[in-house]
Amino acid sequence: MRVYSLNVAPRPQLLIKALEKLDSLTLRGPVEVGDEVMNGVRRLCIDYVKRREASVEALIRITYAVEAGKCWSDVYLFTLSPRGSTVVVLVKRISGMGRTDPDFVIDELLRVLASEEARGCEP
């Protein structure tokens, strides 16, 4: 399990909106394959987003594919919990061998949250 602390507004509706915007996100570029770096694609699929009493849960599938024909995926459960002026994110791998890296999901989530806050989007 990985734990992240995000310095963002802890508004559940904004978190849900940002997670939904990540659905079907496709990023082309370098992908690490063992000790090599190859051209490939990373794709996010948000299987579900649910608001709980004190958190927001998202089941996220990360799929990698590279030009050499290799592909793999992992499924992670992201639990985002407001804590004061921050959001604590717990990331637990549900299935797969852990060959994908959920760090880039956090980076993309922060990018979307910053964009939404800059636009003044309210819950």
For the segment 4-32, what is each residue's pLDDT rounded down to a tens digit? Answer: 999 988 889 999 999 999 999 999 988 87
Q: Is pLDDT larger for residue 63 or for residue 122?
A: 63
CA angle 116, 114, 10 (to 5 degrees): 85
Query: pTM value?
Result: 0.88
Supply the DSSP string of 47-114, one letter for each residue.
EEEEE-SS-EEEEEEEEEEETTS-EEEEEEEEEEEEETTEEEEEEEEEES-S-S-THHHHHHHHHHHH
List the domain boundaries for the chain.
2-118
Q: If you classify domain 2-118 with CATH, what class do you get?
A: alpha beta
